[in-house]
Structure 1
């Protein structure tokens, strides 16, 4: 298994160089086709006591500004992607989360930096993970390289975690160390058998992994602390084992990992 098509999201308000270089390296590593993507939208008309904030002429100006920015991002993509890599460009004047979800139909993997609050110019990572139907690699910091030297698989015997494990196989196969860790309560045979089965599954894909049972509460902070302890530079996790509404109300590992910006994370749902 490998990634044959990778789509990289270039945020409208971010420097494109680092993420394009990283995505190009990944495309070279996996001999994959690379799709550059960017999108932004004009906010709708807003009614105030003085009338409409955005009138037709103002909205047209804003649309032209977006078109100019998208053209700049395309130039950067074409500049930083070597000619030896098969690539193409896609851009939309549309909400980026929705547009990227559509483009993801033709990709094996989505690569992006963290999202933002402006839904007209930045991704909602949680909505993207839930709707895209593809693994989403969210890069930590301003990394220009994804080494994947030590990969932590956050294991829970759930559909989402199983999907994430399979989606991450190409990255796991190239890692120097793979750690499969669970924060499930207890140390019964069911949990131990679950970890053992995962190790066997990976071994059948020629991936050697060690397993760990992490003590303490099953929360995002504990998982990130463990990731740092084993020097992981990538966390693989299933997303939203509970409903997103419950995670928003009570907190959850997915919500914590989305907010964690120092380590790269791969999410599947």
Structure 2
């Protein structure tokens, strides 16, 4: 199935340029409609601080400051959105449709709303084909990570973590991290639309990464049924870190997109002990398509 609707949660101006460029590149590629969504903090969320010993005047000042910061950030994001869509000659507004009703050209819209980001992003993502999320390391913005986890855990949709910088290419050399889990199978399903146009596809597997389930050879056979040829290579953990071994192998391959499952173990376990997902999120320099 082709990608027709892309959601881009914009956490802040610092992380926005690379993520917006990536999302617009994909909108052009897929003739898709991009919704750039900025969620401003609800000033009423500051009210519970009244129980922390703050006076009413202090709370009102904090609420006014929060609202001002949100409006300033929204204005800056809209200006960036306008600049980039104009430069690419992408129509702004409703999706451009053919007589059949299908989207016929790239289009985009920007909205800034007040609410709880995790809830609003997850809800909007459920009816999107792809969610582009700013890289958590692209700026010191906790909201980038919050949006990513909202998509992964509460939307049922794939998340594309944009690279920190602006990519020259995206999806020409594709790496698939395979370990036999339901999460990696979901990632394969999401990357299928990309594979037909890729110039090279490689499956990366490792005994340090494999879980109970089909192996890499079985995945290659499955892709062959879709007319997709992929080779497979084994990687090894570096200093007992499978994530480091995976990224090293993917980098040597020259991939510009990595597709993988996310959090085969619990998120809490990965936060405490580390894991492949956590390592990739912290250290990947290319775009990563992740699924739960």
Range class of TM-score, shorter chain: 0.7 to 0.9
* Match of residue 109 from structure 1: 130
Closer, same or farther in 2 for the Cα pair 1:49/1:233, shift >3 Å? same
CA contact (8 A) 1:6 1:33 kept: yes
Q: Secondary structure at the match of 2:126?
A: helix
* Match of residue 208 from structure 1: 229
Q: Equivalent residues in 2 for 1:95-134 (5 A)? A: 95-115=116-136, 119=142, 121-124=143-146, 125-134=148-157
CA contact (8 A) 2:18 2:162 kept: no
Rounded to whole Å, the distance in 1 between the matches of 2:288 and 2:26 is 15
TM-score by structure 2 length? Answer: 0.80
* Match of residue 67 from structure 1: 71
Q: Secondary structure at the match of 1:142?
A: coil
CA deviation string 1:176-212 (max 9, x = no partner)? 111111123599xx98x62222112222222210011
What is the Cα deviation at residue 93 of structure 1? 2.1
TM-score by structure 1 length? Answer: 0.87
* Match of residue 44 from structure 1: 46
CA deviation string 1:139-185 (max 9, x = no partner)? 12221444222211110111000000001112222221111111235
Closer, same or farther in 2 for the Cα pair 1:77/1:182, shift >3 Å? same
Rounded to whole Å, the distance in 2 between the matches of 1:241 and 1:140 is 22
What is the Cα deviation at residue 260 of structure 1? 1.6
* Match of residue 12 from structure 2: 12
Are 2:175 and 1:173 equivalent residues in the alignment? no
* Match of residue 240 from structure 1: 263
2:84 aligned to 76, 80, 84, which one? 80
Number of paired residues? 265
CA deviation string 1:211-251 (max 9, x = no partner)? 11223446211111111121122211101111111111211
Q: Which consecutive residues of structure 1, in runs of 5 or more, have no partner in the other structure?
A: none
When the two chains are superposed, the root-mean-square deviation of aligned CA atoms in Å is 2.6
Rounded to whole Å, the distance in 2 between the matches of 1:248 and 1:40 is 27
